[in-house]
Amino acid sequence: MSKLYLVPTPIGNLEDMTFRAIRILKEVDLILAEDTRTSGKLLKYYEIGTQMMSHHMHNEHKTVDAIVKRIAAGETVACISDAGTPAISDPGFLLTRACVEAGIEVDCLPGATAFVPALVNSGFPNDKFVFEGFLPVKKGRQTRFLALQEETRTMIIYESPHKLVKTLGHFVAYFGEDRPVSVSREITKLHEETVRGTAAEVLAHYTNKPPKGEIVIIVGGKSK
């Protein structure tokens, strides 16, 4: 039966693939990969010989209709990103929505995603939280920070290493220097670390020690 599978891939450690994910990637007719060079290493590691096609943020608007037609015609397709779960700050949402609208079955497998271990490792309340993903780079950034000033739930934010210090500075300015912050870096990788403290303390740490790698920031919500 034709179907779209959304298959999570490791965010660092290649051993974080599930048995089911490996089986699905071997069985489908086509794998949509964010970067075929990156995904090629994963597929080679698990001896997966399925055909790949590039599907990323720069071409997904143009390729979605053709992919939906292929699935509707009987093909089974898996969508993967470079790391983590497709559609979570990665390509996959547009295709998923198009398949749902076309009446095509969509099956998202459970698996790796960066924000869950970062949230749990922070030690902050996680009964309620809000996922912000990547904040606006320029336009709308101030507006978003102003809106988040009153957020009482724990906040999850993705950030690039070269913007981390600037963002931490914004935390101090908009949330106050005593707001609790936890920064998890290189999750599941060799140099994985989590730095916790107040916004001012974490800002001072990364000002003196420029960060590298993938970063997830957890920010405590405003006290009620």
Residues 78-120: tens digit of each pLDDT: 999 999 999 998 899 999 999 999 999 999 999 999 999 999 9
Residues 123-160: tens digit of each pLDDT: 999 999 999 999 998 889 999 999 999 999 999 999 99
Q: Residue 37 burial by CB count (10 A; 0-12/13-18/19+): exposed, middle or buried?
A: exposed
Here the CATH number for the domain that contains residue 191 is: 3.30.950.10
pTM: 0.91
Q: Residue 73 burial by CB count (10 A; 0-12/13-18/19+): exposed, middle or buried?
A: exposed
Here the CATH number for the domain that contains residue 33 is: 3.40.1010.10
Which domain, by its residues, includes 58? 3-108
55 and 122 fall within a common domain: no
Domain count, the chain: 2
